[in-house]
Structure 1
Amino acid sequence: MASVKIENLVEKYFQAETSIAEENELRNYFSSQNVVAHLEQYKPLFGYLSLAAAPQFKREFLPQSKKNTVMWVSIAASVVVLLGIGTYAYYNFDGATKGPDLGTYDDPEKAFRATRKALSLLSANVNVGIESVMYVQEYKITKEKIFIETQKQTGSGS
């Protein structure tokens, strides 16, 4: 009689018409040792469902000494990285604080010749600029003459 009831519940289960209480009854029946031979094939299904229904988590905690070791290793790694960056910055940016070497002369004659050459180059470039200004001045004077003559011709003087 119990096997007929279980068979009906299995049929209902596969048609998705069982209640939670009926599913619990199926789970309990298939987890027991007295399962009828022709229903043995469903035992793994309901056995799995009973195991899945009650998941058990096993938390693993690192022992305190491993936590401390991990912490100290990470601190040491940070210190090594900071020292590496500091060393790199010290050796590569040390020259940037010094001014550029503009050249010095031990011999006064060489210094005099270099200064004379630099001043003559500067003078030549200044003279080119002055010539350009002279052309602008000449243009301005000519424009004023033309403006005065046109005023005289039109007879309008202010």
Structure 2
Amino acid sequence: MVLNNIEKLIEKYENGETTLNEEAQLKHYFSQETVAPHLEMYKPMFNYFLLNKQEQFTKNVPLKTKKTFNYKWISVAAVAVLMLGFYLNSNVLNTNDCNELGTYCEPEQALNEVSKQLAMISNHFNKGTQSVNYLNTFEKGAATLGYLNEVENTTNIIFKK
């Protein structure tokens, strides 16, 4: 009868429906030397709960906290100062002459300069392509070698038979 009661309590315990008194009964049953063989697997768990209940925390807990300096506000202030500096600097530069930054105030002048630069780049690219033209000759020679390999393969077939 006691074993039946323990099995019902274990089932309730696994479902999370036991009361504190029922858990105490389970702990008492599994702390004994003799336990039913099919319930042996629960014995280490309930013995652990009994031993864990006796443990105590012995270290000192400091109640006063150390005052730490919050460095976040320094970084926020530094970013604000930098942003203000960039804003003021950009306003000063906008009022000055356009040629200070290497830009052109007149669109026609800028177009002429871009046209010169693109012509120079095109000239350099054309020189590079002239030096690579010999690759076409190489491709023709490789194609001729391919034909010679085919002729050699056919002659090998003829003479082997």
TM-score, structure 2 as length reference: 0.33
Considering Cα pairs closer than 8 Å and 6+ residues apart, tell me whether 1 or 2 has the greater RCO. Answer: 1
Larger Rg: 1
